[in-house]
Homo-oligomer: A and B are copies of this chain.
């Protein structure tokens, strides 16, 4: 089933210990949709400026991603400039030029209205809530957020959280959102805010799912599930790793007939797989060149490096 994603399509200028790139295609919706496109059809709602050309459209087209919902506005696209130093888990934002994104008002095209899976990428929670409200018959909604919205827009974010099936955030965001230093206690508090299930991403240490009594109608045996990450000797560019995780995770979920605990766990592994590919090159380069065979092989590698029966 197709996924509808709303979020940013942007240009990124990035410095990492491996090098730098200037104005490469990026944005949460871009990374998410490329990753998800290996599993299911994807539809994108975003806004771009006049600097978004046929070449950039081609990146989506090559993966059969429907970008008829991308609005073209006068001016320039969202542009993020950032740097990573020795700690590749932490980006330093050098400049944020919202440009056309400052006045983004997501509109859902008629052709997208039957989407049963909705991903609310990291944007203003007022916009996330607005999109959610316009999709009353959606079957599953996943969302992301960040420190900026957690600290400055808590009330708007609360509306979004109440309606989420799965929230995907990282360790720091979870602790900040809950106001707790222990991750398990933080997860318990966040699950009380609304999401049926919480997935916390630990960067190089994988990800943990925290289930509630609302997950899978209570049919999950344990409260946790841990998915590994691939130990990597070189991380060229961590930008978009979290969105690629979300794309692999939600793309696989949307491709499956039923949402069972077993499907959810495999989705966590596919999330890790897509994140591990994303960081191998700058921007979207690796996901553009990826094949389904490589994904399947790496999924098997993830299984082998975490399962007792693999030898």
Interface residues of A (CB under 8 A from B): 86-87, 181-185, 187-188, 202, 204-206, 208, 210, 220-222, 224-226, 228, 230-235, 260-262, 265-266, 269, 301, 303-311
Contacts and interface: CB of A to CB of B under 8 A. Distances in A.
Q: How many copies does the complex hold?
A: 2
Contact of A221 (B230, B233, B304): B304
B181 A86 contact: yes
Given A202-B205, A226-B305, A231 B184 contact: yes
Contacts of A221: 304, 310-311
Given A308-B265, A311-B221, A204 B233 contact: no
Contacts of A86: 181
20 contacts: A86-B181, A182-B232, A184-B232, A184-B233, A185-B233, A205-B205, A205-B206, A220-B311, A221-B304, A222-B305, A224-B230, A226-B228, A226-B231, A226-B305, A261-B311, A262-B309, A265-B310, A306-B306, A306-B307, A307-B308
A258 to B, nearest CB: 13
Contacts of A234: 182
Contact of A183 (B87, B228, B231, B301): B231
B208 A231 contact: yes
Contact of A188 (B205, B222, B233, B311): B233
Looking at A233, A269, A310, A311, the one whose CB has the most chain B CB atoms below 10 A away is A311
Contacts of A261: 311
Given A185-B233, A265-B308, 12 more contacts: A86-B181, A182-B234, A183-B231, A205-B205, A221-B304, A221-B311, A228-B306, A261-B311, A262-B308, A262-B311, A303-B308, A306-B307
A206 B231 contact: no
A188 B234 CA distance: 13
A118 to B, nearest CB: 26
Contacts of A185: 233
